[in-house]
Amino acid sequence: MAKILDKQRYKCAMSAMQTVQAIERAIPVLHSGPGCAQKLSGSTGSSGYFSPNIYPCTSINERDVVFGGVKKLESTIRHSLEVIDADLYVVLTGCIPEIVGDNTEEVVSGFKEEEKPVIYALTAGFKGNNYKGHEQVIDALTEQYLEPSKIRIKGLVNIWADVPYQDEFWHGNYKELERLVKKLGLTPNIIFGYNRGIENIKKIPAAEFNLLISPWVGLTNMKKMEQKLGIPYLHYPTLPIGAFETSKFLREIGTYAGVPEEKVEAVISEEESSYYYYIERYADLFLETRVMSKQFTVVADAQYALGITKFLVNDLGLFPAKQFVVDDTPREYQEKVRSYFKDLNYIIEAEVSFDTDGFNIHNEIKAHDYHGYPLILGGHWEKEVAKQTNAHFLNVSWPVNERLIMNSYYAGYEGGLKLIEDIYSVAKTRFN
Amino acid sequence: MAFQLSGSNLGTRENRLGSITGYVGDLEDLASQSKCGTLTGCSRCFSQSSTCLSGCALGQLGGIRDVAIIHHGPAGCSATASSQYIVTNQVAAKRGVVNSSVYIGTDMDENDTIFGSTDALAEIILEVNRRYHPKAIFVSSSCATGIIGEDIDSVVDEVKEAIPVPVIAVHCEGFKSRIWATGFDISDHAVLSGIVEPPRKKQNTINFKNFYESARNEIIEMFQNFDLEPVFLYANATVEELKHLSEAVATTCICGTLGNYLGNGLEEVYGVPYIRTINPLGITGFETWLREIGRVAGKQPQVERYIEEQRNIYIPQIEAVKKELKGLKAVLGMGPGYTFEVTRVLNELGIEVVWALAWHYDKRYENGEIPPAMSYLLENDINFEASVADQQNFEVMNILNKFRPDLYLSRHPGSTVWAIKQGTPAVYVADEYMIFGYKHTLEFAHAILDTIRNRSFEQNLAKRVKLPYTDWWYQQEVGKFLEEAIS
């Protein structure tokens, strides 16, 4: 049912156009009103090989609402193939065609014989938010493009983690996760980002397993791939940030993939040694920055709320106040996600609220006693409540404003150091 | 046309002004066809994404101080809440005021498309009022609510009793017009019909329709010479200020597309003169505009004095930089409120416009006349090839590839990058005051000069990237996909 969306944290399912945009040389073809792409794309990192104003669009008008828009869709796809040089065309449907009942599947099936693949995903805005839309696109790939592989390549791992663009660190995070998995002697396969694209999509079916790094987004995709392509999956719910979680992450993958223990431990030892070299050098700063207190709150999607909470508790020794998960996590996943926040060092348990109403969240933050300056990591909306509560504020989750992220990242050992840099760059703006 | 302020809905630009989004030809043909009434726009059998009118409508209204926008639709429709918030805050901070406006979505889901959600909407409006006590509430529809026939007018009527401030229904179904500028009219209509009150006493104010009031201080200072006080609309304007728009000496606007509906509405309904000259961009534009304001306000001698004084400062400097710009060739793509104004300024600066794209074209304005910027060009025998395309990037690229100009000028996000990828230097004419008056005309000329003097960035990038269009497309005529519109 319609509900108040105050300080909005997500967009609609059709924002999955950004998932497509993250695959090099894949282009969304929109069956929607003329302005959806402009509205749903941010202005950061969108002028790649394609950009939102390149996306073909049926630009549905009043006439199409009455008479249907399938003819226009057919001609838009046909001409897209002529005009735009892409490897993959992903038709995304918006609200209008799904309400008026256009048969998109039938139109798209007319392009089966084309040299380039044309697939579709039903992503009407009312079907759910962009986390669900992202899943729709991946499912569409599995259902309509991928076929079971006769061969299985030992050590080939498909990695699924961030929702591109919704997480502005997606470029860097994927790169770092790829680097870490590679160090274990495995062969990572990622479809999003630089120099990957369709060739990597083609490799998906031959993988030994799927690695899903996410509390809940993508689970349906893993199940679908397991069912259709016979690829088992390892679900690692926490985005590893900092040494504690990243080492745990490497051990778990190592065990699952049968990497010799000595090899895993050697990698961990090397990475931790470098990580703690820096931690040691700056530890005095952490202890002696007089404005830093212990309690923190994260307001983010499940991915970041969990990843950052674990890092701040298990690595930096901070203490969790209430954490807010704002991605509209489906009810069926909430208990499981809640349980992840209870698995912290020293049997610390973080209280979690699943809430999409920023007004309530801000009231709860204002009502809590942080016993010092609060540390708030959240969306840009939290800048306001941080000001009201005299908190340190770092914008880590969508919406991200007033900072630019190109290829930096919070994942892994180095990502943890980067997060510390960002937090202390804020804290150091005050003396007392 | 007669303004109907009793209903919450209004016609689209296509219906009211005969506006079009598909045309290829030249300026003279466009104008003569407009005059004799034979101009019919084309539709396209292939098009790329453009812009939603709701962004224009609600972006404008959301800039008003301390109001609430409630955008009834799926979460994507209200996704601009965050960018609206940041812009609102930053322009308020620049001026030193606080703007507490909120932009709320309703996260409509599949059940709502089947069973409707008017009860939930009513409760959301009441809750927003309880939370923020806004000075006005604008309740907008979306494509989805429009198609399922959600009656937002009735919901607004129902909650009005319980809310002490104006609650106004705003109809923003994105599919109803290809012309996002219809959204500007929608916002003006909401203000005119829901907030503006009949005049009680005449004031020495001038309603100044703009986007983000970046030149606020200098304009206030300028108008002091003529005993006029500008009221900038809508960013940072208060609801109280809007109530009194009918009491102004005149209404003017930095962009004809933006201000046309409000200006004509205030003139027709309340007798506030609307300044209908070419816009204050470039030298001739600025002087023509200022003289008309002087005439309407009875301040001609003061205006002449001001013009003379300012000319002495700036004209020699503009003349000096013009020498370096002479002979450059430019292509530009902008909303029609700027395309035909900026072509005039480029002409003044000695730059030849080889092709101009307008994102749409209004055959006539609300008063039945063709836009003054067009008349000016025709009267001065300035003609060039022109097309009308709602930001159809593939058409822009086709044109740039054929003409290989020295410069591309554009005014919409995401457009300039494509020119530079093709190796053409680009100037993003983002700020509405970028070419305002003598001072900014001079700055604009220098911005162009600096852009073409150092082409490193675009050359570096162009050398390393591949363009997304096929060779086949570059060999086609720009109007390849235009077809007769089916009305």
- The mean pLDDT value for B418-423 works out to 94
Residue A220 has pLDDT above 90, yes or no: yes
Q: Do A79 and B82 touch (CB under 8 A)?
A: no
- The tokens describing B106, both together, are 């309703």
Residue A277 CA: distances (Å) to CA of A272, A274, A281, B423? 8, 5, 7, 46
Contacts of A398 in chain B (CB under 8 A): 82
Note which residues in 46-65 of chain A have CB less than 8 A from chain B: 46-47, 49-65
B267 touches chain A (CB under 8 A): no
* Residue of B161, B159, B173, B192 lying closest to B7 (CA atoms): B192
Question: Please, what sign has the CA dihedral across residues A160, A164, A170, A174?
Answer: positive
How many angstroms separate the CA atoms of B81 and B6, rounded?
29
pLDDT digits (tens, 9 = 90+) for B104-126: 999 999 999 999 999 999 999 99
Q: How far is CA B445 from CA B282, B283, B286, B307, B356, in A?
A: 10, 12, 15, 20, 19
% of chain B surpassing 90 pLDDT: 87
pLDDT of residue A386: 98
Smallest CA–CA distance, residue A49 to chain B, in Å, is 6
Residues 122-161 of A with CB under 8 A from B: 124-130
Nearest CA in chain A to B90: A402
Give dist(CA A236, CA A218) in Å, integer.
Answer: 11
pLDDT above 50: residue B368: yes
pLDDT higher than 80, residue B89:
yes
| CATH assignment, B51-177 | 3.40.50.1980
CB A390 within 8 A of CB A373: yes
| Phi, psi torsion values for A304, nearest 5 degrees | -80, -35
Q: Does pLDDT of A415 surpass 50? A: yes
B114 has a chain A CB within 8 A of its CB: no
pLDDT in tens, A78-109: 999 999 999 999 999 999 999 999 999 999 99
Q: Is the ipTM of this complex over 0.90?
A: yes
B117 → closest Cβ in A1, A100, A128: A1
Cβ–Cβ of B106/A4 closer than 8 Å? yes
pLDDT, tens digit, 9 for 90 and up, residues B265-307: 999 999 999 999 999 999 999 999 999 999 999 999 999 999 9
**To the nearest whole number, what is the mean pLDDT of chain A?**
97
Q: What is the pLDDT of residue B39?
A: 82
Q: Which of residues 65-84 of A touch B (CB under 8 A)?
A: 65, 72, 75-76, 79-80, 82-84
Distance CA B316, CA A269 (A): 71
Are B84 and B60 in contact, with CB atoms under 8 Å apart? no
**Which residues of chain A lie closer than 8 angstroms to B394, CB-CB?**
54, 83
The pLDDT score that the predictor gives to residue B487 is 45
Contact A54 B148 (CB under 8 A): no
A11 CB within 8 Å of a chain B CB = yes
Q: In A, which residues are within 8 Å of B83 by CB distance?
A: 42, 399, 401
Q: Does B413 sit within 8 Å of A43, measured CB to CB?
A: yes
User: In sequence order, what E strands does A48-202 have?
Assistant: 88-93, 118-122, 156-160, 187-189
Nearest CB to B76: which of A12, A52, A85? A12
B401/A contact by beta carbon, under 8 A:
no
φ/ψ of B153, rounded to 5, equals -60, -45
**Nearest chain B residue to A50, by CA:** B468
Among A312, A315, A383, which residue's Cα sits nearest to residue A350? A312
Residue that wins the pLDDT comparison between A95 and B17: A95
Q: Is the peptide bond before B234 cis (omega within 30 degrees of 0)?
A: yes
From residue A321, give the alpha-carbon distance in Å to each of A90, A348, A349, A358, A421: 42, 11, 10, 17, 22
Flag if A82 and B470 touch (Cβ within 8 Å). yes
Question: Among B113, B143, B466, whose Cβ lies nearest the Cβ of A33?
Answer: B143
Q: What is the pLDDT of residue A243?
A: 98
Question: How far apart (Å, rounded) are the C-alpha atoms in residues B141 and B176?
Answer: 12
Inter-chain touch B76–A60, beta carbons under 8 Å: no
Q: Which residues of B touch A30 (CB under 8 A)?
A: 49
Residues of chain A found within 8 Å of residue B466, distances taken between Cβ atoms: 49, 85
CA of A223 vs chain B CAs: smallest distance (Å):
24
Contact A43 B414 (CB under 8 A): yes
Q: What CATH superfamily is the domain B205-302?
A: Nitrogenase molybdenum iron protein domain (3.40.50.1980)
Maximal C-alpha separation, chain B: 68
Assess contact for A375 and A426: CB atoms under 8 A: no
Answer yes or no: is pLDDT of B35 > 80: no
Q: Which of B52, B481, B486 sits opposite A38 (nearest CB)?
A: B52
Query: What does the H/E/C string look like for B15-74?
Result: HHHCCECEEEEEHHHHHHHHHHCCCCCEEECCCECCCCHHHHHHHHHHCCCCCEEEECCC
Phi, psi (degrees; rounded to nearest 5) at A416:
-60, -40
Q: Where are the domains of chain B?
A: 51-177, 205-302, 305-485
For the cut 50, the answer to whether the pLDDT of residue A398 exceeds it is: yes
pLDDT score for B366: 75
- Nearest residue on chain B to A358, alpha-carbon basis: B104
Q: How confident is the model at residue B1 (pLDDT cuts 50, 70, 90)?
A: low
**Please, which pLDDT band fits residue B485 given cuts at 50, 70 and 90?**
low
Extract the tokens encoding A51: 């950009």
Helix (H, G, I), strand (E, B) or coil at A428: coil
**Of B453, B387, B451, which is closest to residue B420 (Cα–Cα)?**
B451
Q: Is A395 on the interface with B (CB under 8 A)?
A: no
Q: What pLDDT was estimated at residue B37? A: 74
DSSP-assigned states of every residue in A250-309: HHHHHHHHT--HHHHHHHHHHHHHHHHHHHHHHHHHHHH-TT--SEEEEEE-HHHHHHHH
Site of tokens 């708030």: A376
Let me know: does A323 contact A298? Beta carbons within 8 Å.
Answer: yes
Evaluate whether B84 touches B62 at the Cβ level (below 8 Å). yes
pLDDT at A266 over 60: yes
- The gap from C-alpha B321 to its chain's centroid, in whole angstroms, comes to 29
Scan residues 36-95 of B and list those with Cβ closer than 8 Å to A: 45-55, 72-83, 85-86
In terms of CA atoms, which chain B residue is nearest residue A129?
Answer: B75
Q: Count of CB contacts below 8 A, A vs B?
A: 240
Chain B contact probe: residue of A57, A65, A83 with most B CBs at under 10 A: A83
Residue A14: closest CA among chain B residues belongs to which residue? Answer: B76
Check: CB of residue A197 under 8 Å from CB of residue A26. yes
B305-485 has the same fold as B51-177: yes
* 3-state secondary structure at position B251: strand
Per residue in B305-324, pLDDT (tens digit) is 999 999 999 999 999 999 99
Among A23, A38, A355, the residue to mutate for chain B (most B Cβ within 10 A): A38
Are the beta carbons of A34 and B109 separated by less than 8 Å? Answer: no
* Chain A hits for B54, Cβ within 8 Å: 35, 39
**What phi-psi label fits residue A230: left (phi over 0), alpha (psi between -120 and 50 degrees) or beta?**
left
In angstroms, the separation between the Cα of residue B316 and the nearest Cα of chain A is 39
- Nearest CA to CA, how far is A98 from chain B (Å)? 10
Distances in whole angstroms, Cα of residue B318 to Cα of each of A190, B283, B288, B430: 55, 10, 18, 21
Surface of B (165-184) touching A: CB under 8 A: 174-176, 178, 180
Q: What percent of chain B has pLDDT over 70?
A: 99
Tell me the mean pLDDT in the region B161-171: 97
Strands (E), A83-229: 88-93, 118-122, 156-160, 187-189, 209-213
Q: What Å distances lie between residue B486 and A52, A63, A223, B16, CA to CA?
A: 27, 9, 47, 17
**Residues of chain B found within 8 Å of residue A68, distances taken between Cβ atoms:** none
C-alpha distance from A312 to closest chain B C-alpha (Å)? 27
Assess whether pLDDT exceeds 80 at residue B2.
no
**What's the whole-model pTM score?**
0.96
Interface with B, mutate which of A3, A93, A356, A359 (most B CBs under 10 A): A3
Nearest chain B residue to A64 by CA: give it: B175
Position B184 scores a pLDDT of: 97
Contact check, Cβ <8 Å, B175/A11: no
A8 and chain B: CB distance < 8 Å anywhere? Answer: yes
**CA-based nearest distance B20→chain A, Å:** 14
Q: Which 3 state secondary structure label does DSSP give B205?
A: strand
Task: Say yes or no to pLDDT of B65 above 60.
Answer: yes
pLDDT digits 0-9 by tens, B421-432: 999 999 999 999
* Structure tokens given for A54: 């390149």
Pick the CATH number of B305-485 from 1.10.238.10, 3.40.33.10, 3.40.190.290, 3.40.50.12380: 3.40.50.12380
